[in-house]
Amino acid sequence: MKKIIRVYNQIMSSIGMIGLVGFIIAVLVQVVSRTFLPKAPNWTEEAARYLFIFMVAFAGNAAVANDEYVGVDLLTNLFPGKVQSFIRIMVLVMLWIFSTFVFYFCIIGPEGLLAMTPSSMVTTAMVIPMKYIYVSLAVLYGFYCLSFLFRIYTIYMEKGEK
């Protein structure tokens, strides 16, 4: 299971890095074209925005699985170790429930976001169907469901090794 989690983290991190590189390239093209060309291309702002969205959707999952999200633990640090571990697991379970709920209503729900988005709705400059942009929510929360489960599993395994 540890190998599956490690490969999952590598995939999420790699896709997030591809999004980051694409985002940087789109922004650099926009800056250079505004500075040195008479007219800047319209597509760079949209590309940067959508690459940023997908970058967060994938890299955020790697952050969850590696426990790298910033958290406020001022109050939880006052409790003993077992209570801290219980609180961490309960927070992860609640986040998993929330992620599952959002994922359900993005994809499967009767009036889900993707079902309600008309095919004729496209982005302004790049003329990409908005369903491809909105699918980032489903990707984000679908993978969050996995990431939270992996994190809970990792915490249980750490407790078992002590």
pLDDT tens for residues 89-116?
999 999 999 999 988 888 876 677 666 7
Write the pLDDT tens digit of every residue in 41-82.
889 989 999 999 889 888 888 888 778 777 777 788 888 988
Q: How confident is the model at residue 7 (pLDDT cuts 50, 70, 90)?
A: very high
How high is the mean pLDDT of the chain? 86
Closest CA to 15 of 69, 56, 64: 56
| pLDDT of 160 higher than 70 | no
Q: What is the pTM of this model?
A: 0.80
Q: Give the amino acid at 143.
A: F
Residues 6+ apart with CB under 8 A from 100: 141, 145
Residues 6+ apart with CB under 8 A from 99: 141, 142, 144, 145, 148
User: Tell me, what's the pLDDT at 147?
Assistant: 92
Alpha-carbon distance 47 to 12, whole Å?
Answer: 20
Closest CA to 24 of 3, 38, 8, 44: 44
User: Tell me, what's the pLDDT at 117?
Assistant: 73
Q: Taking residues 33-41, what's their average pLDDT?
A: 88
Q: Which residue has the higher pLDDT, 158 or 52?
A: 52
Q: Are 44 and 26 in contact (CB under 8 A)?
A: yes
